[in-house]
Structure 1
Amino acid sequence: MTRRPIILSILALALVLFAGAAWFVSRSDAGAETVPPEVAEALVRPWSPVLGREEAPVTIVEFFDPACEACRAFHPIVKDIMAEHGDAVRVVVRYTPFHGKISEVAIRVLEAARMQGVFEPVMDALMREQPRWASHGGMRPDLIMPIAGEAGLDVAAAETQIRAPDIVAVLNRDRSDVEAVGVRQTPTFFVNERPLEPFGEAELRALVAEEVRRAGT
């Protein structure tokens, strides 16, 4: 065999190997792409509650329903992730009232808590006590305000605040963004505009850790 056929055979083999590697990488990274720009724009809004440092390089966006059992299950996981990574991670909360009226009542109370500077402790209390007020066997929206009060909410002031037009606007805007992003279940997570796919605790922890490494923090 002359040198020319040998060289051509080597080049052909290299091309096959390269194509195979490219296919494998594309398959491996299929879920790693960021969302399209029009969806990314709807993920974080100026009115969205933020947990953690505003300037954190890694942003977890959680589409969250306070009456959702899965959201309750993930609440301590998200807090643990924030504790693990410190100032590198923040969480942006997007309201997703898929459970109807009782979700809206809880969201209004959360927004009143934000006005009063006690958003996080009230959110923690509502998640901890969720089985009391959001049990599928008997919804008790009347318990939401007292639970929030025990966590530091000024209930008398909140009774007026929950009727504020600004809170109605937040609910309506978040509903619109839920539709634009295509959220169908809660919680739904995005990390630095990358969707959590597949869904799971280990996957969320891994995706956040990867973005923290990328940020070099």
Structure 2
Amino acid sequence: MALVQAVRERFRRYHPQIEGLLFGLSLLGVLTVVHLFIQQNRGFEDGCTGFATLDSASFAFNCAAVTTGPGSELLGVSNIVWGFGFYLAVAVLTVIVFWVGIEVREWVQGTRTILLTGGVLYSGYLTYLQVGTLEVVCLLCFASALIATLLLGAQIATLVASSSSTDPSMSSRLAKRQIALFVYLIAAMIVLVGADVVYFDGFNLSQATSAIAASAERPSGNAQCELDTTKAPVGENGASLVNFQDITKGSAESGVTVVEYFDPNCPHCKDFHQVMKQLVEAHSNDVRFVYKPFALGRSSLPEIQALYVAAQSGKFSEMLDAQYERQGRSGITMSDLRSIASEIGMDPDVVSNRVEQNQYLDQALQVAKRGKEIGIDSTPTVLVNGHFVQSRSLECMNTFIEQAQADDLGGTASK
């Protein structure tokens, strides 16, 4: 009881410097999350931070993989949204700590302590997923985890700070000074967020305007089926992407080629897989479908190699279906791959030996390298006759195929 009483007493005191630090760090967290959101909407075309293009041969830093891979959502909500709410809540609680009386302050301090502890624990878990499972790092996510840790450290500091640096009540001079500090920090954050949006064109306003203009020229029946006009089409109707090592289905003589870049650990790829299966069934005689396993992180490379091994035995579809069925936050282990091989009628030893010997590693890396060269940084990415697809519903995919068959899909290819 004595310890609890001591903690409550310290929570009742107000530490101007520490509270100012807490408020500033929480707004810095908001700015970091907003910047991450902007870069995600830009497709991380210039890397995680937006200031440097990532090495196309490196998997060390890959925000796209982290923000779309295992652990990217909690209860169906993006971690970016959770992060924004977390930092905003800390900022609001910090203002409340300043505003309320000492009786209420201890409860607000306790709430903030619990929130920060939970935030740090969850950030630690996400960092573990990045390093241990995905084997890639999102720099902005790591920065957010560091800010959360500093916030908790500052909160702990309120418990150990000397009483000489506190004010149990609130003098008029201190109140005015803190209000001014809060206002200045909020103004600075608004200016920085605005500058961030303007510098990076926010959501590519000029490109969005072009897309709106283009859509206005299309028939109203296809108004919701959009190509991705932010990326230039690939030359030769996408044929330059296809080689003899690729996994294909459908008609090799077709004039229409659908290419899918996917990662077996990507939840959105798992959803789109059902669309692809229906497309293959409906257009097996008049469309060539090309499957390009695209590793968002090194943890996907064993699974991708297993897909190539299965394709050699005519078991690609069975292997991919089983991998998607086992998809989870921790990825698929070699033991899982051996079990899948047994289930689909393959020799587990052959699969594991070929994967462990990295027989298809170069092929997987070349697919990733070429994909990044044409602007692919997330999955699933789908191209129809070299044109990047934005709307991937079954109805829209059928529309794009019909337009390609009529030679009426998009403009002139430039790559």
Category of TM-score, reference length = shorter chain: 0.7 to 0.9
What is the alpha-carbon distance in structure 2 between the residues aligned to residue 140 and residue 126 of structure 1? Answer: 7
The answer to whether the Cα contact below 8 Å between 1:122 and 1:152 also exists between their aligned partners in 2 is no
The total of aligned residue pairs comes to: 187
Work out whether residues 239 and 385 of structure 2, in 8 Å CA contact, stay in contact via their aligned partners in 1.
Answer: no
1:180 aligns with 2:369: no
Is structure 2 residue 217 aligned with structure 1 residue 28? yes
Q: Which residue of 1 aligns with 2:160?
A: none
- Higher strand proportion (structure 1 or 2): 1
1:1-217, aligned counterparts within 5 Å? Answer: 28=217, 31=227, 35-37=233-235, 40=238, 43-101=241-299, 103-127=300-324, 129-130=325-326, 134-136=327-329, 138-141=330-333, 142-164=335-357, 166-214=359-407
Normalization by structure 2: what TM-score?
A: 0.40
Of structures 1 and 2, the larger Rg is shown by: 2
| Cα distance in structure 1, aligned partners of 2:306 and 2:395 | 31
Change (3 A) 1:86 1:214: farther
Aligned-partner SS, 2:396: helix
Contact 1:122 / 1:153 at 8 angstroms: preserved in 2?
no
**Contact map agreement 1:60 1:190 (CA 8 A) in 2:** yes
Once the two structures are TM-superposed, the CA of residue 66 in structure 1 deviates from its matched residue by 0.9
- 3-state SS, counterpart of residue 60 of structure 1: strand
> SS of the counterpart of 1:135?
coil
Could you tell me which runs of 5 or more consecutive residues in structure 2 were left unpaired when the two chains were aligned: 1-212, 219-225, 409-415
Letter of the structure 2 residue corresponding to residue 122 of structure 1: M
How far apart are 1:119 and its partner, in Å? 1.6
Could you say if the C-alpha distance between residues 86 and 95 of structure 1 is closer, same or farther in structure 2, counting changes exceeding 3 Å? Answer: closer
Provide the C-alpha distance between the structure 2 equivalents of 1:119 and 1:51, rounded to a whole number of angstroms: 10
Identity of aligned residues (%): 23
Q: Per chain length, whose mean CA-contact separation is higher, i.e. which structure has more relative contact order (CA < 8 Å, sep 6+)?
A: 1
Secondary structure at the counterpart of residue 182 of structure 1: coil
Q: Note the residue ranges of structure 1 that are not aligned, 5 or more in a row.
A: 1-23
| Length-normalised TM-score, structure 1 | 0.73
Residues 191-216 of structure 1: CA deviation (Å, up to 9, x unaligned): 1112113454432232123224449x
Counterpart code for 1:75 = H
Q: Structure 2: how far apart are the matches of 1:44 and 1:81?
A: 19
Contact 1:42 1:181 in 2 (8 A): no
Change (3 A) 1:78 1:26: closer
CA distance in 2, matches of 1:76, 1:146: 23
RMSD: 3.0
The code of the aligned residue for 1:91 comes to: F
Amino acid at match of 1:116: S
How far the C-alpha of 1:163 sits from its partner, in A, is 3.9
Distance in 1, matches of 2:237 and 2:285, equals 26
* More off after superposition, 204-213 vs 43-52: 204-213
Cα distance between partner residues in 2 of 1:38 and 1:93? 18
- 1:200 and 1:184 map into 2 onto residues whose CA distance is 20
What is the one-letter code of the residue matched to 1:110?
L
SS of alignment partner, residue 276 of structure 2: helix
